[in-house]
Structure 1
């Protein structure tokens, strides 16, 4: 005898509540199952190693971040997620795989995700329809074979953005998401600190005959599919790190790099527990990026007017998570993917931290043993023979472990001479708040010591100062008189102590991960009792013991002082 959906929820409710799974969670899971019958296809491109250009470092990490998110958070099948990285990502391979994997297979109700991380640029194309012919700069993606050597000037073998949009319009489904973590505008000045530009200088050369012919062939092949669609833009959603005139960057963390947009997006989708529309998610991700790097990168969202779910798919689970189990060994050890963990914690060596594993039949505790980038190894702390974790189980932080002797990573500015670098390194060795002195780009940095034009109007000189990872001078750190770099380090030591305290504060922030239900409100104590601000732990409301805000005590601020 079959069960109705309502009867199923009612009859299983008591058993599931004993596992900490609420009816709200079950409703979300049932919704996910109901919408998971349609196929979900993805093509992820990430190019770090270029044949003719300086390498990038975070594009393959972007692919890993997206792949694990799509599989474990949104229910994509591994065989339906195709990746092309480095030498695989030629222009022809990208176009062919898009045609064969996405266009040939996608049905009207299917979900499609395309992701590109790599260099972008703009190339001049001749417009021969006017006289005299004009050169138009068009946005382009740089595949691994982006430059073709010829006897004369090398030809550019770029994948035009117009070609990608042509392929997108040929899809039979409107449930398409394009994520483009690349830029088309090269910054005038090289950025300092942890950031690297994902754009090449504008190309005034010629587009290869192969690239031109490929676009014409695609136009001919999909002409019948394109005729009924009079859209100028592709269906679905376009999420881009930059437009034609802004820049896109990747960020260096401890031993890995990642695109700022991709990391912010995927990490946020791990820590969220609600099926928010893409417009809401985008605004939250944009705010996260602004907090991290200011207005340097301004992502762009182009979507249909009707709000839609991110990736046109509900979350498989209404639990937020720091990551997911991706491998389990017979000896109760394994690997864990930590894509939802705050990056500031990852770069500060949280070895020994403990996580709760949400399995189908029990609550399991694991401990982090080692960390490589965003993947770690663990051992299970449950007694042998008891419940063991399984691949796909979500994890949530329970105990955070940080190094006892946490310190600052200081990078040496590009303008420092060799002798200044030697003296600065020697001076910082005597500063307790500084852990490492490194060159820019080697690993994650907290601050930079460099030189800047003095603010003295009567005497011009290059003064020593501390800078943020973005290269912005820190307030009240610029030297007022000419000084040796060792003297500057001594002058800056009290400031460095304060900055280390601020780092500790940020590393201890657990608003997103705490399982303790806490809500703090600031209210004006007048007749109107107007509430100015409310802050609460994000995860407390998901736990079974937090039924309503009425269980929380209200204390006047005087009781806390």
Structure 2
């Protein structure tokens, strides 16, 4: 597809930022009629201007703010068609209040016209400062200077915004204004700055007038905004989650849906610590609403070609659309394709080297590496996952030095652990630390345990009080097998990239059935486009709720299915496997109503994580593995989930072999040290809910 045509189709996503909430009342849910648009709603000569600010170099430095700006810049240029010359970037030493205000006035206020779109992004510290009139405090962005000149307060920011001649304004703030009293998990870094006025008793007198346009804020006023290391790079959790969702969004996706999905992703990552918010002035966006779209939908992208490489037939690509859970383990030799049309055939790219979200790819299709390739969006074709995948365990910095030495030695000898790192310095799957306990005697003690990245300790990893680290490490072997199995299932999740037409609905069955969540693949030409509004938080279910899954096959061939996961008691589970395929255009309900079987949510409080995996070929190896471990009907507990996970990936690898043979690439047909999964051959839909 020509770059210009791609931008004509995708620029509507930002145009619709305001329209998505109109008519929604207090619910915040978009009216489906308002997210449609007409072909000529956005004049091609309308400018799109952006000012992006990211500051790491404070006296107490941050690590991810400059990367946030890079994420936004690549998104705006290669996903939404901003001209590079229309984006001004200020980082670190350029981030003084005077420089920010000057850039705002010169680049945005003086250049913007009435129909232009303006984007302002800030990543850095936030705080609260007293109003000049006294008695109240206001939010402020912390700039590079010290003292009273080191803040861009809310009133001044509002005045800058209101001086813009356009009403189409998007503000993104990845910062935190509250002086949080919460103790963050060690893998997260808080973006809040403690100023003299930042006292908890002044929250009630907060002056925080609305900004014009749409405001996407990393966190609600009294919560935190955090940044995280993802494996080789650090970003704000909000910026990465938001930009990743926007990369994979379709033309038909409203910003309301995108925001809900971003919020849900953050809820899973950090839970109670951070909840994003949005604000808007609805009456300013009536002019943007249009109806009866005539556009073909662009089904998202994982990134774009951003430069030619020095070597012939090599290009540099940006992978900003890769899901956050994939980026650390995404394998070399994975394959992508440009989005082509008949007059501009697709090009096959194979990843040969990667650092963070930037990769070098080899072109395997015919044609030259001409400058016209730059800017072309790319979509996943083959996902490569190492067969030596393992868990990365972080060590809590609160452990004593001798404890860290002993833990590194003991944990490194466990086969399921690939590396042991310091929490916060590198990306980790879980972290190892102490959990306080009270013994039966009433004496205080501690036990070593594993913790999720949001700081919750995993009860199944808790031992007896005051144990030795080597004892704890041996005790953790079985739970670690289960955690690795879950990680492997999660690495197959591909709702946004699968071309196998599948839709699944999680429902309650008691009294009148109620839909809890829906998932469907985005890139099948045969899929239904009707979905309920996504959840912004993880759904909560009462104990002993009766559940079922409704699985619809929208593809043109039979599909096979398998359900695996972890229940709220942290037990690895599966539904009794079936070798019977679901015919094209038909529905399978699990459990079947006529089978007199129940799937009940657990009584214990906890998080359930269910993977509904579909394939064009039977799960022969996985079913055989399950049946050697356990016999029975209905919901089954897996004694050895890691063996099942390995068998599932092998089945998906084998199911992909026919498609792989048709792809021009290196190493895929003879690959032995990794699984190669073709997006035309499988789909994994992930459901998460809480039992409370």
Change (3 A) 1:312 1:116: farther
1:328-368 per-residue CA deviation (whole Å, 9 max, x = no partner) reads 24711011011111122211142110011124511211111
The one of 346, 351, 354 equivalent to 2:332 is 351
Q: Secondary structure at the match of 1:37?
A: coil
Aligned equivalent of 2:52: 44
Deviates most, 313-322 or 493-502: 313-322
8 Å Cα contact 2:501-2:555 kept in structure 1: no
State the Cα distance separating 1:112 from its structure 2 match.
0.6
Separation in structure 2 between the aligned mates of residue 334 and residue 434 of structure 1, nearest angstrom: 34
Q: In the alignment, does 2:308 pair up with 1:328?
A: yes
Once residues 495 and 54 of structure 2 are traced to their aligned partners in structure 1, the CA distance between those partners, rounded to angstroms, is 32
Q: Which residue of 1 aligns with 2:162?
A: 169
Partner residue, 2:422: 439
Q: What residue in structure 1 maps to residue 409 of structure 2?
A: 426
Q: 1:399 aligns with which of 382, 406, 409?
A: 382
Listed one character per residue, the Cα deviations across residues 346-398 of structure 1 (whole Å, up to 9, x for unaligned) are 11142110011124511211111111121111111124669997011111111
| Residues in 1 aligned to 2:448 and 2:409: alpha-carbon distance in whole angstroms | 16
- Matched residue, 1:258: 235
Task: Determine the structure 2 residue equivalent to 1:116.
Answer: 122
User: Which residue number in structure 2 is paired with residue 98 of structure 1?
Assistant: 104
Counterpart in 2 of 1:140?
140
Look up the match of 2:601.
none
Structure 1 counterpart of 2:481, from 493, 497, 507: 497
- Distance in 1 (CA, whole Å) between partners of 2:190 and 2:491 is 27
Q: Secondary structure at the match of 1:400?
A: strand
Distance 1:389 1:480, change over 3 A: farther
SS at match of 1:461: strand
8 Å Cα contact 1:45/1:115 also seen in 2: yes
When structure 1 is superposed on structure 2, of 365-374 and 234-243 the one drifting more is: 234-243
Confirm whether residue 470 of structure 1 aligns to residue 454 of structure 2. Answer: yes
SS for the counterpart of 1:245 is coil
Partner of 2:270: 293
| Residue 94 of structure 1: how far off its partner (Å) | 0.2
Question: Which residue of structure 2 aligns with residue 538 of structure 1?
Answer: 522
Q: What does 1:108-507 correspond to in 2, within 5 Å? A: 108-127=114-133, 134-145=134-145, 147-148=146-147, 155=148, 157-204=150-197, 233-305=210-282, 318-329=298-309, 331-360=312-341, 361-383=344-366, 390-458=373-441, 459-507=443-491
Q: Is the 8 A contact 1:62 1:117 kept in 2?
A: yes
Could you tell me which residue of structure 2 aligns to residue 553 of structure 1?
585
Relative distance call for 1:520 and 1:470 in structure 2 (3 A) is closer
8 Å CA contact 1:49–1:86 kept in 2: the answer is yes
Q: Secondary structure at the match of 2:460?
A: coil
Report the CA distance shift for 1:476/1:178 in structure 2 as closer, same or farther (over 3 A).
same
Q: How far 1:232 moved relative to its partner?
A: 5.8
**CA 1:530/1:139 → structure 2, altered by over 3 Å: closer, same or farther?**
closer
- SS of 1:344's equivalent? coil
Question: Residue in 2 aligned with 1:210?
Answer: none
SS at match of 1:465: strand
Distance 1:164 1:522 in 2: 44
Cα RMSD for the two superposed structures: 3.3
Classify the secondary structure of the residue corresponding to 2:455. coil
SS at match of 1:294: helix
Work out the CA distance in 1 between the residues paired with 2:423 and 2:216.
30
Partner secondary structure for residue 402 of structure 1: strand
Distance 1:316 1:280, change over 3 A: same
SS at match of 1:238: strand
Tell me how far 1:196 sits from its aligned partner: 0.9
Distance, in Å, in 2 between the alignment partners of 1:388 and 1:409 is 40
Cα distance between partner residues in 1 of 2:57 and 2:124: 9
Tell me how far apart the structure 1 counterparts of residues 166 and 367 of structure 2 sit (CA, whole Å).
49
Q: Deviations over 1:458-498 (max 9, x none)?
A: 23202111111122111222222321011011111110111
Q: Distance in 1 between matches of 2:316 and 2:358?
A: 7
In structure 2, distance between residues paired with 1:200 and 1:389: 45
> 1:520, 1:535 within 8 Å by CA — same for their partners in 2?
yes
Distance 2:326 2:54 in 1: 25
Q: Deviations over 1:50-73 (max 9, x none)?
A: 2xx221111111111111111222
Unaligned ranges ≥5, structure 1? 1-27, 128-133, 149-154, 206-230
Closer, same or farther in 2 for the Cα pair 1:238/1:45, shift >3 Å?
same
C-alpha deviation, 1:525, in angstroms: 10
Whether the 8 Å contact between 1:193 and 1:445 is mirrored in structure 2 is no
**Cα contact 1:277–1:307 (8 A) shared by 2:** no
Distance 2:315 2:516 in 1: 46
Kept after mapping to 1: 8 A contact 2:315/2:369: no
- Counterpart for residue 63 of structure 1: 69
Distance 2:494 2:237 in 1: 22
Q: 1:32 Cα shift?
A: 6.8
Give unmatched runs, 5+ long, in structure 2. 1-35, 199-207, 529-552, 557-583, 593-617, 624-692
Alpha-carbon distance, 1:305 to partner: 2.6
Q: 1:5 — aligned with what?
A: none
Which whole-Å CA distance do the structure 2 matches of 1:386 and 1:68 have between them? Answer: 20
Contact 2:144 2:150 in 1 (8 A): no
Structure 2 residue matching 1:320: 3-state secondary structure: coil
Aligned residue pairs, count? 490
Instruction: Give deviations 1:278-335, integer Å, cap 9, x for gaps.
Output: 33322222122112221321111111236969x9999997231111110124711011
* Range that drifts further, 474-483 or 57-66: 474-483
Query: Structure 1 residue 124: deviation in Å?
Result: 2.9
Task: State the TM-score, normalized to the length of structure 1.
Answer: 0.80
Partner Cα distance (1:476, 1:550) in 2: 40
The whole-number CA distance in structure 2 between the counterparts of 1:385 and 1:46 is: 37
Displacement of 1:268 after TM fit? 0.6
**TM-aligned CA deviation for residue 235 of structure 1:** 2.5
Going from structure 1 to structure 2, the CA distance change for 1:170 and 1:308 (only over 3 Å counts) comes to: closer
Deviation at 1:403, TM superposition (A): 2.0
**CA positional deviation for 1:30:** 8.6
8 A Cα contact 1:522 1:532, kept in partner: yes
Instruction: Tell me how far apart the structure 1 counterparts of residues 378 and 234 of structure 2 sit (CA, whole Å).
Output: 23
